[in-house]
Amino acid sequence: MPNKTIYVPDVDLPVFDQAQNVSGKNLSATIVQALRYFVKIEEGKGFVQVEVSEGENGFYTRKRFIGRELASSCVSDQNALITTNYVVYETVHGRYAVLITTEKKLPLEQSIERELERRIMERLTGRNKGNLQLLAEEEDVPTTKRLEIYDSIDRLSGHIPGDLFRALHEVRDSEFLDI
């Protein structure tokens, strides 16, 4: 097996020890993993670690990947009560991740009314009840966050709004000038 020697200043030795303890692996494996991550980020031309939440009703799991945001769009239903946000990412492996968030939006008047009701209840009871009970009464549409993965831009057709699909094609087909 080839051998590489690296020289580490004394002040940086605790970082090496901590990295090995956190990873639970030998130091060589830990360094290789960190270098692979570094190379992906540096060669990725704008790719960064992306962290999103996926789930429903406040029960979310975090998902992480290396990617870059390409475009986003927001669509509302006819009454503008339910909005769906689409965020499209290109992953470092050339796939496409779409974060779809659907949530209920309150009309401005109803939102103001709720806030006034909450403040009155706080004054009467002398306690901060927060928005828990008031929100639970009318929360019939849960907030959902879903991450979908596609192998190509063309596979996104029918799964995202048409204007977002066209914008992605414009981004893909545009010429980058390094000037």
Q: What is the pLDDT of residues 67-115, one digit of tens each?
A: 989 999 999 887 767 889 999 999 988 899 999 999 887 666 767 877 7
Q: Where are the domains of the chain?
A: 1-43, 47-173
DSSP category for residue 49: E
Q: What is the largest CA-CA distance in the chain?
A: 74
* Strand, coil or helix: 174: coil
pLDDT at site 86: 96
pLDDT the model gives residue 136: 45
Query: The pTM is what?
Result: 0.60
Residues lower than pLDDT 50 in the chain: 131-138
Rounded distance, CA 111 to CA 131, Å? Answer: 11
pLDDT value, residue 134: 45
Q: What is the pLDDT of residue 132?
A: 45
Q: Are 128 and 120 in contact (CB under 8 A)?
A: no
Give the pLDDT confidence score for residue 131 in this predicted structure.
45
